[in-house]
A = this chain, B = another copy of it.
């Protein structure tokens, strides 16, 4: 599962010609056709190589994207680590700790910030980032959390993930920008956790008494109506 980019692992230093051609073709293909619309076959054709060579260097489309965008982490490894270990009820806090651990490293952060900024001003880049983030990262985490109404949960989660990243690393709003990771994990963990597994489509217990919508709900409830 560990097929890190040559830059990082130092593997295959002598094969840069075809490898670099494939990466350049992949960057164009992802930008033009989005993540979901790009195939290994199409990238291979654009690079003038056999698809088998792309598979040989990068394994799969996900890893090709990770290497083409110079991302610091392989999402398959992220999700494996987050979901497989620890209490499912802590998944929200663990997501935050992992994210901040990556983004707080300045050399890892630079390409991520560049991608997010581009996505904010360019519709094609926005599509690419949206599709990769939802298909390969957030969608998988939400699926693993096994809540109901997973499409809505995924977008709620995405809104808080991107909001956190933008405020901490791009807008740099204090005190969030320099808060200790554990402060962020405690403050935002319940939000991540509720979006993953909590009640999201009914009146909250706060203020529920003023409405007819429902009785107060417990935090751990997964009793969700599908109204979207």
Contacts and interface: CB of A to CB of B under 8 A. Distances in A.
Contact of A167 (B159, B175, B187, B219): B159
Given A120-B117, A176-B159, A206 B90 contact: yes
Instruction: Please classify the interface of chain A as helix (H, G, I), strand (E, B), loop, or mixed, using the class held by over half of its residues.
Output: helix
Given A117-B120, A166-B120, A186 B173 contact: no
A219 B170 CA distance: 31
A155 B126 contact: no
A224 B203 CA distance: 25
Given A90-B207, A159-B176, 17 more contacts: A90-B210, A116-B120, A119-B171, A151-B175, A155-B173, A155-B175, A158-B176, A160-B163, A161-B163, A162-B167, A166-B166, A180-B227, A186-B203, A187-B195, A187-B201, A189-B206, A204-B219
Contact of A126 (B87, B171, B189, B210): B171
A179 interface: yes
Given A163-B162, A163-B166, A156 B187 contact: yes
A148 interface: no
A205 to B, nearest CB: 6
A89 interface: yes
Contacts of A177: 155
A206 B186 contact: no
Interface in A63-122: 87, 89-90, 92-93, 116-117, 119-121
Interface in A25-45: none
Contact of A202 (B126, B160, B186, B188): B186
A180 B152 CA distance: 12
B190 A194 contact: yes
A164 interface: yes
A124 interface: no
Q: Ordered nearest first, which 10 A-B pairs have the shortest CB separation?
A: A163-B163, A155-B176, A159-B163, A120-B120, A190-B204, A159-B167, A187-B200, A90-B207, A191-B191, A155-B173
